[in-house]
Structures are given as C-alpha cells and as structure tokens.
Amino acid sequence: MVGGTLRDIRAEIRSLARSDGDYAVVCGRTGSEPAAATGRRFPDRRAAGEAAELTRDYRAALRRYDPNIPYDDPLVYEVSEGLPRAVTEASADEYARYSAFCHDTAGALFEALSELGYREAETAAMETYLTLAEVVDDHDDFCLTLVWSLMSELDVRLSAAERRAAVEAAADLFSPTATPNPVDATLRHLEAVGFVEGYSVRPIPDAEADGARDVDAGPDARADTRTDARTDGDDSARTWELTFGDYALAERTGRIPTLPIAVALLRRTPERAVRFLDGEALSDGRWRLRLRMSPKGDGGRDPGSAGLVSVEAVENRWLNDTGASLER
C-alpha cells in the first residue's frame, strides 16, 4: 500500500538528518519544506542532497495515483544563509501550493493509517479515490478528491478514538512546533494555499458555545466548559469561532469536513487538545466552525481532541439550497 511506501521513504530521510545540522531542503515551487523533510536538518550538503532526491521519490509515489501532481524542485540551502533567491521568485505558483497542501495532507494520513494498522480504512480510501477519479472532469481536482476520499472513509470506518489517533499521528509527521496564535496562523496558511478565501477568527465566551454539540464527546465532555475564552489575543483561549469562504471541501450533506484544518492546526499546537464542536453553512459560500482548545492533561479534565474529520452542520437553509454556491 502507498502508506507503507511513503513511510519507508520518510524513514530514509530521517536517517540522514541530524538535530544540529546546518542544511535543509525547500521546494523552489512552493517556498515550503517538502512534507517528508519538514523540520529536518542535515549535517552537510551531500546528505541534504540525498534527502532532496528522496523527497522527489515521495512525491513520485503519490504521482502514481495523481499524474497531475506538479514536479518538485527541491533545493538544498544552508540555514544560516537563508532561503535561496529562486524560492522567493517561484513561490507565486498558486496551483503548486494548493496541490502540495492536498498531497502533503493525504500522504501524511496514508502514512498514519499504515503505521497504526488501519489497513481497511487505508485500502477503502484509495479504492474510493480511484473510483471517483474516473469521473472527475478537471484533473486539477484529483488532489482534492484524494483528501475527500480519506475524509469519507475515516468517518465511516474508524471509531472516534481511531480517528483521533490517525489525525494526530498525521500531524506529528510535520514536526509539530508551537506557533503563536495557531488558529489564525492555520487559516492564514489555508488561505495562502488557496483552500479558503477570506477568514475571520474570534474568541467566544462559553455562554455562546454551550449549545454546540461535541460530536465525539463522552458524558463528561462538558465538564470544563465554564471558563470564558480569554480575549488577550492568544489562541490558547478556550473557545474560538472561525468564519471563512470558498472552502475547497465544501459539502451540502449536513456535515462540514474538518480534516485538513485539523491536521494543519495540530501541527501548530502540539501541547493542546483541539475539539471541533459544530459548524454552519452561511450564505454566499461562507462557513462557520467552532472549536475548543485546552492544554493536554489539563488537571485530568482534558477529554482529548475530537471532531478532527468532520462535524455536524447546524441546520441552515443554505445547506439544501441548490441555488447556493458552495463550490470552491
């Protein structure tokens, strides 16, 4: 399966890396580190060059299923000297960024499913993708179809605990680093790669969030919902409302996919549990999500992350209005 192949390639890259290395790899087309080499540093230019070639192999493994994947341009550079000028000049390639985001997310999820032994879900996701790819008119949509197929099969084939394990394992592959204002940083990144367009983030008091349905919650999930969201500009606040438009995974099925948002957020806030509570389809192709963040191991009250694949959408006439535009 593709997950095992991707894991093997990542392991080879990991074997070349050193924590105190002076060299790194960046993609000249997207301006970001290739997914399989994210956060890795290498002792010399030779080792970094080998890693760069392996990142090509990683993308080639996915290209077997999506021939429309743009070819990589991995560049080796010395970290102390900053990014090569060519990266700044080339990173305006919008489709390359969008495609890379989709494939990086999908690749990490396939690796996670393989690592955790969720073979049925891994196989089903690929079979669903191959079936849908036969009827996709625009080949540029293959990458999004791959992410959607994973989301769909994780939702129906894994338990809540298994979904959480898979998404957290996928996020861990990106060398998670605590990021200031991680919620805003996540949506800013999604906008930069073309996954959403136009967004806002605001902290909300628990009085507004009390009606939210915690999709993966157990009976004690509301035990720590009385603390109001702080408004000091720090995304470590308890509860947040996200509003955004032109969501690439927009659906009118009564649920809102959260999978790519969850992976992107968890890699920026490794010390916190993230619970997506609910969502709503707004007019003119805009969406609203609510999520709660809390420190892991928060005095025994942390119920863990949840809603990381999809959440129920609050009733809204736009969900079933065939005249509403909810497409990307």
pLDDT at 18: 98
Q: Which amino acid is at 78?
A: E
Question: Which residues is 292 bridged to in the sheet?
Answer: 239, 275
248: phi then psi, degrees, rounded to nearest 5: -60, -30
pLDDT at 54: 98
pLDDT at 71: 87
pLDDT at 235: 46
DSSP H or E run through 272:
strand 272-281
pLDDT at 216: 60
Mind listing the pLDDT tens digit of every residue in the chain (328 residues)? 899 999 999 999 999 999 999 999 999 888 899 999 999 999 999 999 999 999 999 999 999 999 999 888 899 999 999 988 777 555 567 888 999 999 999 999 999 999 999 999 999 999 999 999 999 999 999 999 999 999 999 999 999 999 999 999 999 999 999 999 999 999 999 999 999 999 999 998 865 655 555 556 444 443 333 333 343 445 444 799 999 999 999 876 778 999 999 999 999 999 999 999 999 988 768 899 999 999 887 655 556 899 999 999 876 655 555 444 334 3
pLDDT at 267: 96
pLDDT at 285: 82
For the chain, the structural domain boundaries read 2-172, 182-320
In this structure, are strands 272-281 and 310-314 parallel, antiparallel, or unpaired?
parallel
Evaluate whether 245 touches 198 at the Cβ level (below 8 Å).
yes
pLDDT at 211: 56
Closest CA to 7 of 176, 170, 175, 177: 170
pLDDT at 87: 73
pLDDT at 179: 92
Cα–Cα distances (Å) from 211 to 2, 89, 206, 275, in that order, read 41, 48, 9, 14
CA 320 to chain CA mean position, Å: 27
pLDDT at 2: 95
